[in-house]
Amino acid sequence: MEAVIVLLPGDGIGPDVTACAKQVLQTVADKYDHRFTFREELTGGAAIDACGDPLPSATVDSCESSDAVLLGAVGGPRWSDPNATVRPEQGLLKLRSVLGVYANLRPVKIYDELAGASPLKPEILEGVDLLVVRELTGGIYFGEKTRDANSASDLCVYHTHEIERIVRVAARLAQGRRKKLCSVDKANVLETSRLWRDTTNHVMAAEFADIEVETLLVDAAAMHLLSRPSDFDVIVTENMFGDILTDEASMLAGSMGMLPSASLGDSTRGLYEPIHGSAPDIAGRGIANPCGAIASAALLLRHSLGLEQEATAIETAISKAIADGARTADIAARGDSRISTTEMTDAIIRGLN
């Protein structure tokens, strides 16, 4: 098949890991006889430096005319002056919004060999396989903001249709898994959460009688994620709770560097990114873990291009590299030899051939 893939390397380790994911995609194209055209565009701090705008219109146009977008990471100390009016993160949020990718899928997969990399006891990690479905284009991230000398506000708004559509995405995904859905809110305090809970219960009762539904308050969910993570199948939650809970959940996998994400809307065009940030402290040192970006490329093949076999091949190659002992610094145990970003990529590519 032919496909246009936009690459948005962004900042920090973003360019390092995006290059690895591109190399893996090219290997897949060669092996399975596809033609992928890669277009590299500016976003984040790199775009601020180049043209003063974290999401230039040329980048938007390129993404909108592509089949899928793969992003590295945005942000860094150079652009994080709290009083700055232009910030790299604005580019990412605007991109999510203009692409209409309201459903952010963050699967948390545990590699048995990495159990030692997690701060949790191995017996708690046994059987963990969960998927967080985070609402991505609404809530407090996108509400009106105000600031004066002595006060500030961020408005959190949710509309019924935004909740319905994300709950449907999550419930359909649960149907293909263990048929359990946990909806996370803060309905004891927030009005938006009470709407979230009512709407979720309504959609689930009316359309998904086959799914077992659990509701948790976000504070309790944060605790249960650590005390009984293997009980969870699909978790659905609003934008900011999903942001926080997925950083927490990443520790089950040992490192944020392992985890991918897919952001989807109503079309097949999606935005794919590792869940880690720009890690400016290790940028350009060649030691970043490319697995999250490469696993994001696998999700891109699955969800935007419908290439299930190729996606599975990449995921199997990552598992094999890990099983064979390939370890970047973030997932190395004491005494393990640590390999570089490119060596990890080569190990994964060997598993594809």
Supply the residues annotated as catalytic.
Answer: 141, 186, 219, 243, 247
Q: Which of 134, 60, 139, 51 is nearest to 92 (CA)?
A: 60
Q: Cα torsion at 274, 276, 280, 286 (round to 10°)?
A: -60
Q: Residue 74 or residue 117: which is nearer to ligand IPM going by CB?
A: 74
Task: Give min distance, CB of 264 to Mg ion, in A.
Answer: 17
Stretch that binds Mg ion, among 66-74, 80-88, 241-249, 307-315 (CB under 5 A): 241-249
Q: Which of 55, 64, 124, 127 is nearest to 93 (CA)?
A: 55
Q: Residue 92 or residue 299: which is nearer to ligand IPM going by CB?
A: 92
- Whether 341 contacts 287, CB under 8 Å: yes
Q: Residue 141 or residue 196: which is nearer to Mg ion going by CB?
A: 141
CA distance 314 to 140: 35
Task: Give min distance, CB of 127 to ligand IPM, in A.
Answer: 25
Residue 165, classified by CB atoms within 10 Å of its CB into exposed (0-12), middle (13-18) or buried (19+), is: middle
Q: Residue 29 or residue 275: which is nearer to ligand IPM going by CB?
A: 275
Q: Is 133 helix (H, G, I), strand (E, B) or coil?
A: strand
Task: Give min distance, CB of 74 to ligand IPM, in A.
Answer: 6
Q: Which of residues 277-296 bind Mg ion (CB under 5 A)?
A: none
Stretch that binds Mg ion, among 20-28, 155-163, 238-246, 309-317 (CB under 5 A): 238-246
Task: Give min distance, CB of 5 to Mg ion, in A.
Answer: 23
Task: Give min distance, CB of 9 to ligand IPM, in A.
Answer: 15
Task: Give min distance, CB of 109 to Mg ion, in A.
Answer: 18
Q: Residue 75 or residue 229: which is nearer to ligand IPM going by CB?
A: 75
Closest-approach residue to ligand IPM (CB): 89
Q: Residue 184 or residue 339: which is nearer to ligand IPM going by CB?
A: 184
CA distance 257 to 250: 9
Q: Which does 75 bind (CB under 5 to 8 A by kind): ligand IPM, Mg ion, none?
A: ligand IPM
Residue type, 254: G
Residue 64 phi/psi, 5-degree rounding, is -70, -20
CA distance 275 to 264: 15
Residue ranges in contact with ligand IPM by CB under 6 A: 74-75, 89, 92, 243, 275
CA distance 310 to 57: 32
Q: Which does 253 bind (CB under 5 to 8 A by kind): Mg ion, ligand IPM, none?
A: none
Q: Which does 92 bind (CB under 5 to 8 A by kind): ligand IPM, Mg ion, none?
A: ligand IPM
Binding mask 197-236 vs Mg ion (x if CB under 5 A, - otherwise)? ----------------------------------------
Q: Which does 89 bind (CB under 5 to 8 A by kind): Mg ion, ligand IPM, none?
A: ligand IPM
Asked if 243 touches Mg ion (CB under 5 A), the answer is: yes
Residue 208 phi/psi, 5-degree rounding, is -135, 60
Q: Residue 94 or residue 178: which is nearer to ligand IPM going by CB?
A: 94
Q: Which of 273, 294, 287 is nearest to 26 (CA)?
A: 294
Q: Is 58 helix (H, G, I), strand (E, B) or coil?
A: helix
CA distance 314 to 294: 8
Listed in sequence order, the residues at least 6 apart from 73 whose beta carbon sits closer than 8 Å to its beta carbon are 10, 11, 12, 13, 14, 17, 44, 273, 274, 276, 277, 278, 279
Task: Give min distance, CB of 46 to ligand IPM, in A.
Answer: 14
Residue 237 phi/psi, 5-degree rounding, is -160, 170
Binding region for Mg ion (CB under 5 A): 243
